[in-house]
Amino acid sequence: MKKISHFIDGKAYSDEKSRIGPIFNPAIGEQIAEVELANKTTVEKAIDSSAKAFLKWSKTTPINRARILSKYKDLLINNMEELSVMVSMEHGKTIADAKGSIQRGIEVVEFATGITNSLKGDHSSSVGTNVDSHTLRQPLGVCAGITPFNFPAMVPMWMYPVAIACGNTFVLKPSEKDPSCPIRLAELAIEAGLPEGVLNVVNGDKEAVDTLLENKKVQAISFVGSTPIAEYVYHTGTKNNKRVQALGGAKNHMVIMPDADVNKTTDAIIGSAFGSAGERCMAISVAVCVGKQTKEKIKTKLLEETAKLNVGPYTDEKSDFGPLNNKAHFEKVIGYIDSGEKEGAKLLTDGRNFKKQGYENGYFVGPTIFDDVKPEMKIYKEEIFGPVLSMMTAETYEEALNLVNDHELGNGAAVFTKSGNIAKHFTENAKIGMIGVNVPIPVPVAYHSFGGWKRSLFGDHSMHGPEGVRFYTKLKTATVTWSEDNIGPEFTIPVLS
C-alpha cells in the first residue's frame, strides 16, 4: 500500500518509528494509502532545517524570491490536472471544484510574486533639521502553517507563498486526511528553484501541532480549522510568545429581501450551501428570508432545483458534489440532522439515506434542507460543515440583521437585494468579516485579505493580501541624520550654486 511520508530538506523523509494513519477514498469508504504521523523529533528536524535555511533565504533579495515564485506559479498551472486528481481522490470533491480551489491558491502565489512592491516602506524627509525617517518590513524567521482537510491545496497556498516571499522559511503541517497534494506542492517548489529547507512539510496529528506551538524557533503560526481548535492554537501559541492568526468556524447567513431575484438567489443558495458537500468555511448554511411570501417563493424554487442535483464520485463528470471527507465527519453531520429533527425543525429534504449505486460504502449525504429553524437550535448555533441548509423567516430587515449580528461566529454573510440602501446598510452594519452583496460566497481575491470577526478569527491579522504581508513581517523604523562629522576624509560635500 502506498505510504506518504514527510518532505524535509528538499526531499522525502521517512522515520521508521513514526505512527501510521490511514488515508481513505471517501467515495468508496476504503483505505487507499497510509501516512506517517510525525513525532516530536521529526517535527524538530523540519524546524531546524527551516531555521538553517532562513539565514541565507532572508538575505535573498525580494526580486529574486519573486522570480522563483513566478516559476513556481507556472509549474502549478502546468501540473493542475495531477494536483486536482490528488485532491479529489483523497478529499472527495469533484474535479471542477478541486481545480477551482487550486486556482484560488495559485492567485495567492501570483500576488506573492509582487512582493517587491508590498515590502516597500514609508519615507519622510526632514522630520527634524537634517533628519529623515523611513520604515522597513523584515522577515520573522521560521513560520508554520496548520491546515484543514477541506482545502488541501488552497489553504496551504494562502500561507506559505506570502511567508516565503517576505523572506521567512516555512513548516507546513497539512491535514493527515489528504496529504498527497501538499507534498507535491513542496516538490514543485524545489523544482522551481526554492532552496532546500525553505519549505518543509510534516504530516501528523496533535503531537506535531503541539511541537510547532511550543518550539522556540517557530516565530509565527497560521491556522485554519474549527473554532475550538483555533482558540486552542491561538492561546497556546501566544502563550509561547508567537504571533498567531487562527481562523475558526463559520455560520454564514444569506439575508434574502422581498425584491431579490428568485431564480438567481436560488442558484446562489444551491451552489453556496451544497457545493463541495458544504465542507467550506464560506458555505451559506442559513437562508434568512424577509417576509413569509419571500420564503415561500424561495422554498418552492429551491426544492424544485435541489431535486435535480447529482451527488456522486469525482470520477463522474456529472457530479455536482461528492461525499464528505471521512467517516467520523459523516457520522457527525448525520447526528446534526438527527438533532434538528428532534428539536422541531421541519425537514424538507433528508440526505441521511442517500445511497449511490456502486458506492454504497461512500460517505455521501444528500442535500438536506430544514425549515422553521429557531436560534436556540443546535443546528443553528453550531457549524455543521455538510450539505445542510437552515431556512428562517424574519419579519423585517432589522430582525434579519440582528440574527446575523447576534451569532457568535462572524466569518461571512450575504444580502440579496435590488436596493442600494439595503446593500450599503448591510455592508456597513453587519458584524461580519466578509460581506457579499448578491454574491453568495464572498471570498476576497488574493490581493485583498481573508478573515472573519468574532469567534471566526483569533488574532489581529487576516490571511493573504496586505494583511498577510503584515503578519509575516515585523516593522522597523529608522531615524537618520548626517552631519559633516559623520563624513570620512575621502568624501566631500559638493557645493551647490
The whole-angstrom distance between residue 229's C-alpha and the CA centroid of its chain comes to 14
Q: Is residue 462 packed enough to be buried (19+ CB in 10 Å), middle (13-18) or exposed (0-12)?
A: buried
In 240-382, where does DSSP find H-type helix?
262-274, 292-306, 327-342, 378-381
Q: Return d(Cα 363, Cα 325) in angstroms, integer.
A: 7
277 DSSP 8-state letter: G
Q: Return d(Cα 2, Cα 36) in angstroms, integer.
A: 11
The residue behind cell 527634524 is 128
Q: 311 by DSSP, 3-state: which?
A: strand
Mark 57-90 as b/e (b = at least 16 C-beta within 10 Å): bbeeebeebbebbbbbbebbeebeeebbbbbbbb
The H or E element that residue 222 is part of is strand 218-224
Is 281 part of the annotated catalytic residue set?
yes
Q: Count CA atoms closer than 13 A to 428's CA, side-chain side.
A: 6
Residues 6+ apart with CB under 8 A from 57: 65, 164, 167, 168, 169, 195, 198
- Catalytically annotated residue among 143, 166, 181, 281: 281
Q: Return d(Cα 50, Cα 171) in angstroms, integer.
A: 7
CB atoms under 10 Å from CB of 341, counted, come to 15
User: Which residue in 90, 129, 55, 29 sits closest to 331, CA to CA?
Assistant: 29
Strands (E) in 38-150, as ranges, are 123-128, 131-139, 142-146
User: Which residue in 386, 387, 347, 385 sits closest to 367, CA to CA?
Assistant: 387
Residues 6+ apart with CB under 8 A from 417: 255, 257, 259, 260, 423, 437, 438
* Number of residues written out for the chain: 497
Residues 6+ apart with CB under 8 A from 21: 34, 35, 36, 37, 176, 203, 205
In Å, how far are 14, 36, 40, 214 from 17, measured between CA atoms?
9, 9, 11, 22
Q: Return d(Cα 483, Cα 491) in angstroms, integer.
A: 12
> So which residues are the catalytic ones?
281
